[in-house]
Amino acid sequence: MVTLLTINIDPVLVHLGPVALSWYGLAVAAGVLVGVWLTLREARRKGLPTEAVADLAVWVVVGGLAGARLLHVLDRWDFYAANPGLILALQNGGLAILGAVLGGTLAGGLVAWRQELPVRPLSDAAAPGLVLGQAIGRLGCLVTGDAVGRPTDGSWGLVYLNPGALVPQLGVAYEPVFLYEQFWDLAIFALLWLLRQRLPAEGRLFALYLGLYAAGKFALTFLRTEAVWLWGLQEAQFLALAALALAIAWAAWGGSSTPRARAPRSSR
């Protein structure tokens, strides 16, 4: 059975003077908005200060975008060293999701710590929105041809024909790894949504999100054809292992399921 989907859509949705609005940018923006909305909803349910969380979300988004673009540029440094004017061309696609996760987590954690906000409950409130936002953002790859996998035998895959697509070669069937990752993200979201009121220890929901996403990313990257760094593993897989280690540490540190009882004050 031959199952091919041909994509011949211009990645640029509309040109507004010197600014180009792309399908990729639209999908990322939708993912960010939904992720922030759901995080604020969960923060309100947990009794967290929503105004402070909204301000914090700005730093998370900025850190996530910076980390995502930085990792993408470093991963393809030969190209961007020869074309430095394209480093900030986000409308063309090119955001490394693991960079977004790590960059957003680092920025959010630092700002929350400096503002003396409860970091672990905040991380739990953010987890469902983060992974749902990632799933929505992956829709942009369907048009741009970003994050595809290896070529297939032609019986299954996506074929891109538009010259603006980011695939290595037009007219070739590629495995839609970004769709696999999107399905994995949605499965993680469904699990987090079911467990968000059942995991007693603060921080465990975020640790579960990060660990499951990292494990899926590690496995799915075997379907990609990026440069191998060491031991047959690609850059994204080493970062996935780092994220998995971070998830384990976050779950183990301060993960008591019950708050410590305070000693009663002596009456004098």
Q: Where are the domains positioned within the chain?
A: 20-196
| C-beta separation of 142 from 56 below 8 A | no
Res 259: pLDDT: 40
Kindly give the pairing relationship between strand 228-230 and strand 233-234. Answer: antiparallel
- C-alpha 237/C-alpha 249 separation (Å) is 18
- C-alpha 114/C-alpha 110 separation (Å) is 6
| C-beta separation of 99 from 75 below 8 A | no
Give the bridge partners for 14, in sequence order. Answer: 21
Kindly give the pairing relationship between strand 156-160 and strand 3-7. Answer: parallel
| C-beta separation of 73 from 4 below 8 A | no
Angstrom CA distances, 177 to 17, 94, 133, 227, stand at 34, 15, 17, 16
| C-beta separation of 134 from 210 below 8 A | no
Alpha helix stretches (DSSP H) within 196-234: 204-220
Instruction: Provide the token pair at 92.
Output: 């063309």
- C-alpha 12/C-alpha 6 separation (Å) is 17
Of 43, 207, 208, nearest to 125 (Cα)? 43
Res 268: pLDDT: 34
- C-alpha 65/C-alpha 101 separation (Å) is 9
Residues of the chain with pLDDT under 70: 1-2, 18, 89-94, 254-268
| C-beta separation of 211 from 249 below 8 A | no
- C-alpha 71/C-alpha 139 separation (Å) is 20
